[in-house]
Structure 1
Amino acid sequence: MTSSMPATRHSIADLSGSFDIAPWAVTELSGETHIVRYANPAFCRLIGKAHDEVIGRPFDGLAPKTDECLTLLDRVYRTGAAESYTAAEKAAPLPLFFSYTLWPVVADGRTAGVMIQVNETGPLHETRKAISEALLLGALRQDELIEAANSANAQLQAEVQERQRREEDAKALTKEVWHRVKNNLQIVVALLANEIKRTPEPWVQGYLAMQDRISAIARLYDLISQSTLGQTVPIGAYLEEVAATLSTSLLGDSSGIRIVVEAEALEIDSERAVPFGLLVNELATNAIKHAFPAGVGLVTLAAHRTGNEIELSVTDDGIGMPAPGQGSTPGKHGSDYVAIFVRQLGGALVRSGAPGAGTSVTIRFPLSFGAAGSANP
């Protein structure tokens, strides 16, 4: 493992904290006679001498006379250029492998000494054996990691598929519940219709109003059961359902009153969809019954997003709100219901209009259920 070391103006003894724990042998020599100024523990172990036996002694007394290292030392000191040496020395029972690098130590622009780093020393077969073992263990470990990764991935895929299956089952069950609720509500509507036939005239309007409200809830659950998510209701489609049902139940084909819908692509959570639908039903029914004494006019159901709020408006071009002191619009109970539904939406209501100029009721409520807080009854 050969590394490069730049020439330095300082003794590496200043960096002994780093070299003392290095696994390779490092020593610094000073002057033309190559006096040892520093030797780390790995170097002392390599030559088999104590630290005190090395420091201050000429390097040529520590190295074999025939060692190429002495020649390279003189060359590095003389030329100021680094040198490297690698050789396999004959030794019993197997060759000994050497590899080391020498760098000049520069001070004031001249070579003041040489540093030696021993990169490798040991029997060549041991080095090759260690490399082979490392490669083999690495390959085995890689196979283990790949197998573990494949197993974990298969388990994850199985868990994901199981979760998806459970989610699909839950969605199907939820839709089935919504569908059954809708069917039950329609049964209630049919029972009310049968009861209305036998009810004296003074009480018929009350039964009809109740029937309309329950029908509105039934339409809501029908939309929820058809939704792909099952947790939200598209506002535009819901308003169209309300408009179609009111046109059928209160107006008929020959009526001069029309209901139109103007809605952005918005959705409302199923928890607030019930008071939302009942609110629209109540306001639109009130407009149809009281805004057009001549039997001709337009009711607009609109929903738009304004910042983090939904703005719902029910507008008519009828006779408008009465002037102060001229009475009020009939339907005290209806007004009470409207206030309750607005509160459940977490919204605020503004009513505007004037005699002969139509009426507009606007409700703003939070876009998301969390922002609205818990609904109040």
Structure 2
Amino acid sequence: MPTMSELVTAHSSQSSADDLNWLHALLNDLQLLADLAFADIVLWSPSADGGFVAVAHARPSSAATLFYRDFVGQQIKPDWRRLVTDAFERGEILDSSAPDWFEETPTRVRAVPVFRRTSPSAAQQQVIGPIAVLTRHTNLSEARMPSRQELTFNDCANDLFRMIASGSFPQLTAPTGPRRGAPRASDGLIRLDVDGITIFASPNALSAFNRIGFSGELEGESLAQVVTDLLPQRFAVDETLPLVVTGKAPWRSEIEAKGVTVSLRTIPVFSEGLRVGAIVLCREVTELRHQEQELITKDATIREIHHRVKNNLQTVASLLRIQARRSNSDEARESLTQATRRVSAIAVVHDTLSHGLAQSVDFDEVFDRVLMLIAEVASSHGTRVHPMKRGAFGILPSDYATPLSLALTELVTNAVEHGLAEREGNVVITAHRSDEGLTVSVRDNGVGLPEGKVGSGLGTQIVRTLIEGELGGIIDWHTMSGRGTEVTIAVPFRFGNDRD
């Protein structure tokens, strides 16, 4: 299914980047509007032919949906077109004059023009639009006497609709992205007046505050005073908290007391440019925060393990290097030097993993560091090598990075030691990544393989074991007449997250 940006861009030539950003901000709260209104909410973008196309749809979690089939990307129904067109052209909120029937279900449709503001500053802002139309589709077949909570939720929805039609919602100073555990209407809702006094608190909101030590009724109380009394004396107060609990800023904050954490989100309510109150959403997120803390602790532990493994490998490499210097046999010295290089290549991967949270690495960064090890090999053989990397490896999981870096180290080292021994030349490493896997070629312009035969030494055995055994790939050696040797390896991706 195409994204909202793709739909808007495809059907309208008038929408600007600022319009799209505003619609994306509105999209983040489309579910909140559906839950508050107990209705399906559809966002319509004007199309070049004078009609409208559905670019987003939110179904209510607080009531049964009317639209079981997704019609995002479709043109507006003829039954709704006149109402939506009038709301767009007049820039006013309009309601259907008679029930609209959808699949034998009576509904009421409200069309809300979407305006945007150019700046959060009242002195500088301009109202642009309409840039789209939002429709609310209410199911009339389930009409009954609404509860006080339902009436309050609907009032909150109508306040937000009026703010959308005046360019006051979404609010430019609100957080730009959703935070894990962000409260929803069903989690708990508190309605404040302009002075920050609670005029309504849903049962779930009251329960959340009861868990952090409040015993009483929130209604009639100053939310700021309630929160102040609940906080421990030595509690480090988030600087955003006072503005959130007084309803003055569209921000998020958290309260922590008695081992319980409650997340708060405030939406100031404006009418004709003046703040008249606020909607405060709240949610008890203790378990979520505990899980996040556990993940942070585990990530730190894993990074520390990688750091220690890297240190241990560097120690081993240093010991091997010392042993090589003291060896009296050229063959033993060469073997220890090669072992040092292999251990150092593995250490590079662990060093990279120790700096990040994810168990994956930017292999281009790893390989650039591995290439630095080749300079040591070239200098010890009296060779001037010009290594060049083409293409990109991208992000790879650590279980790919370690064997691949070791195998490529062997291949490039082999090109330097044998193909370019005692001469100047080039080694070109080319990486090509696709959805199916990774293809890498190592090519030198040296003497080529003797009689086209693949070597049978330890380095070749290591490469075969790593590429064919551990990574399930294939490897091909071939000599290019008078142009050196090229080795190509192809490694398939085994898991979907290998493509990250």
Question: Structures share a fold, TM > 0.5?
Answer: yes
* Greater RCO structure (CA 8 Å; 6+ sep): 1
Deviation at 1:228, TM superposition (A): 4.0
Q: Secondary structure at the match of 1:314?
A: strand
Q: 2:339 aligns to what?
A: 210
Contact 1:262/1:301 (8 A) holds in 2: yes
Q: Secondary structure at the match of 1:283?
A: helix
Q: 1:147 aligns to what?
A: 206
Query: In 1, Cα distance between the equivalents of 2:201 and 2:411?
Result: 71
Q: 1:264 aligns to what?
A: 392
Query: In 1, Cα distance between the equivalents of 2:306 and 2:203?
Result: 51
Distance 1:317 1:205, change over 3 A: same
Q: 1:236 aligns to what?
A: 364
Deviation at 1:352, TM superposition (A): 2.6
Q: 2:376 aligns to what?
A: 248
What residue identity is the alignment partner of 1:314?
V
Q: 1:157 aligns to what?
A: 285
Q: 2:460 aligns to what?
A: 335
Query: In 2, Cα distance between the equivalents of 1:135 and 1:168?
Result: 42
Deviation at 1:368, TM superposition (A): 4.4
State whether structure 2 residue 434 is matched by structure 1 residue 309: no
Deviation at 1:308, TM superposition (A): 1.5
Contact 1:322/1:355 (8 A) holds in 2: no
State whether structure 2 residue 425 is matched by structure 1 residue 297: yes
Q: 2:135 aligns to what?
A: none
Q: 1:358 aligns to what?
A: 484
What residue identity is the alignment partner of 1:366?
P
Q: Percent identity?
A: 26
Kindly name which structure, 1 or 2, has the bigger radius of gyration based on alpha carbons: 1
Distance 1:155 1:355, change over 3 A: same
Deviations 1:131-156 (A, max 9, x none): x9x87999999742543477786664
Query: In 1, Cα distance between the equivalents of 2:371 and 2:149?
Result: 77
Query: In 1, Cα distance between the equivalents of 2:322 and 2:432?
Result: 39
Q: 2:298 aligns to what?
A: 170
Contact 1:304/1:312 (8 A) holds in 2: yes
- Of 405, 414, 424, 1:277 maps to 405
What residue identity is the alignment partner of 1:287?
A
Deviation at 1:234, TM superposition (A): 1.1
What residue identity is the alignment partner of 2:298?
A
Query: In 2, Cα distance between the equivalents of 1:369 and 1:245?
Result: 31
Deviation at 1:345, TM superposition (A): 1.0
What residue identity is the alignment partner of 2:385?
I
Contact 1:291/1:320 (8 A) holds in 2: yes
Q: 1:323 aligns to what?
A: 451
Q: Secondary structure at the match of 2:389?
A: strand
Gapped regions of structure 2 (runs ≥ 5): 1-144, 153-198, 212-261, 264-281
Contact 1:235/1:263 (8 A) holds in 2: no
Deviations 1:98-132 (A, max 9, x none): xxxxxxxxxxxxxxxxxxxxxxxxxxxxxxxxxx9
Q: Secondary structure at the match of 1:188?
A: helix
Query: In 2, Cα distance between the equivalents of 1:143 and 1:233?
Result: 47
Distance 1:174 1:195, change over 3 A: same
Equivalent pairs counted in the alignment come to 238
Gapped regions of structure 1 (runs ≥ 5): 1-131, 373-377
Deviation at 1:239, TM superposition (A): 1.1
Deviation at 1:157, TM superposition (A): 2.4
Contact 2:378/2:385 (8 A) holds in 1: no
Query: In 2, Cα distance between the equivalents of 1:226 and 1:164?
Result: 19
Contact 2:345/2:409 (8 A) holds in 1: yes
Q: 2:319 aligns to what?
A: 191
What residue identity is the alignment partner of 2:464?
A
Contact 1:342/1:363 (8 A) holds in 2: yes
Distance 1:364 1:135, change over 3 A: closer
Deviation at 1:259, TM superposition (A): 1.4
Deviations 1:190-244 (A, max 9, x none): 1111111221223111111111111111111111112342x01111111101111
Q: 1:225 aligns to what?
A: 354
User: After TM superposition, where is structure 1 displaced by more than 6 Å over at least 4 residues in a row?
Assistant: 134-142, 149-153
Deviation at 1:159, TM superposition (A): 2.3
What residue identity is the alignment partner of 2:460?
S
Contact 1:264/1:304 (8 A) holds in 2: yes
Contact 1:189/1:214 (8 A) holds in 2: yes
Contact 1:186/1:218 (8 A) holds in 2: yes
Query: In 1, Cα distance between the equivalents of 2:461 and 2:407?
Result: 11
Contact 2:393/2:433 (8 A) holds in 1: no
Deviations 1:234-276 (A, max 9, x none): 1111110111111134337984211122242511111222211
Q: Secondary structure at the match of 1:323?
A: helix
Contact 1:290/1:329 (8 A) holds in 2: no
Query: In 2, Cα distance between the equivalents of 1:136 and 1:238?
Result: 58
What residue identity is the alignment partner of 2:368?
E
Query: In 1, Cα distance between the equivalents of 2:479 and 2:283?
Result: 65
Contact 1:313/1:363 (8 A) holds in 2: yes
What residue identity is the alignment partner of 2:354?
S
Q: TM-score, normalised by structure 2?
A: 0.43
Q: 2:309 aligns to what?
A: 181
Contact 1:236/1:261 (8 A) holds in 2: no
Moved more, 351-360 or 191-200: 351-360
Distance 1:228 1:254, change over 3 A: farther
Q: TM-score, normalised by structure 1?
A: 0.56
Contact 1:236/1:263 (8 A) holds in 2: no
What residue identity is the alignment partner of 1:305?
R
What residue identity is the alignment partner of 2:319?
L
Query: In 1, Cα distance between the equivalents of 2:149 and 2:379?
Result: 87
